[in-house]
A = this chain, B = another copy of it.
């Protein structure tokens, strides 16, 4: 049996290692989980023992296929619950993360597959992140950050990188959401800010914002 703590370690390692593709070092795991490096060392030894990951002393860890399977399933549950909270229970996109952190650990195949069906098999969560299906398959669209957009092009906003409440509320207050159509007017080399236009509004956003807003070409 896998514990809640183990699931949280696996999830963190999955995200830190670019969806289980890269090695992850001890300190970054400690930081992500707000714990100490020594605790991480203990836990990764246990997770290696259980074959959720491969661990090389002083080198870091990388998830096994088994570990990735666990991680993808948690991501699926997290994102489906987020859709449920926003679409059925009137949560805003900046409120869902915390509750979903708990709901994602409920273990019931039937629960999650029925929830998936109830929500009509959504492919993306409220932040634009893809939701794996029951076989772990993602439908990924090509998306770029606003910071990597081209001047003069028109894009649709399809996701965010930063899902913090602060950032999402900033977007809300400026009437930017998923689906918003944005034209890139100017990029300021001095501070990497970007001037954009949407719904007749023109505004300048900082580099920080530009790096955290994902677009696809229209």
A residues with CB within 8 A of B:
85, 88-91, 95, 98-99, 102-103, 106-108, 110-111, 114-115, 118
Q: Assembly of this chain: how many copies?
A: 2
In contact, A102 and B106 (Cβ under 8 angstroms)? yes
In contact, A114 and B99 (Cβ under 8 angstroms)? no
In contact, B90 and A111 (Cβ under 8 angstroms)? no
In contact, B89 and A118 (Cβ under 8 angstroms)? yes
Query: Shortest beta-carbon distance, A24 to chain B, in Å?
Result: 29
User: What is the bound-complex CA distance between A91 and B115, given in angstroms?
Assistant: 11
In contact, B108 and A99 (Cβ under 8 angstroms)? yes
In contact, B102 and A114 (Cβ under 8 angstroms)? no
Query: Shortest beta-carbon distance, A216 to chain B, in Å?
Result: 32
User: What is the bound-complex CA distance between A98 and B14, given in angstroms?
Assistant: 29
User: What is the bound-complex CA distance between A140 and B118, given in angstroms?
Assistant: 31
In contact, B110 and A95 (Cβ under 8 angstroms)? yes
Residues from chain B with a CB closer than 8 A to the CB of A90 are 114
Residues from chain B with a CB closer than 8 A to the CB of A114 are 89-91
Query: Shortest beta-carbon distance, A81 to chain B, in Å?
Result: 10
In contact, A107 and B102 (Cβ under 8 angstroms)? yes
Query: Shortest beta-carbon distance, A174 to chain B, in Å?
Result: 25
Residues from chain B with a CB closer than 8 A to the CB of A115 are 89
5 tightest A-B contacts by CB? A89-B114, A99-B108, A102-B106, A99-B111, A90-B114
In contact, B110 and A91 (Cβ under 8 angstroms)? yes
Residues from chain B with a CB closer than 8 A to the CB of A102 are 106-108
In contact, A85 and B111 (Cβ under 8 angstroms)? yes
Query: Shortest beta-carbon distance, A3 to chain B, in Å?
Result: 12
Residues from chain B with a CB closer than 8 A to the CB of A110 are 89, 91, 95, 99
User: A89-B118, A95-B110 known; 5 other A-B pairs, CB under 8 Å?
Assistant: A88-B118, A91-B114, A99-B106, A99-B110, A102-B107
Residues from chain B with a CB closer than 8 A to the CB of A98 are 108
User: What is the bound-complex CA distance between A115 and B118, given in angstroms?
Assistant: 15
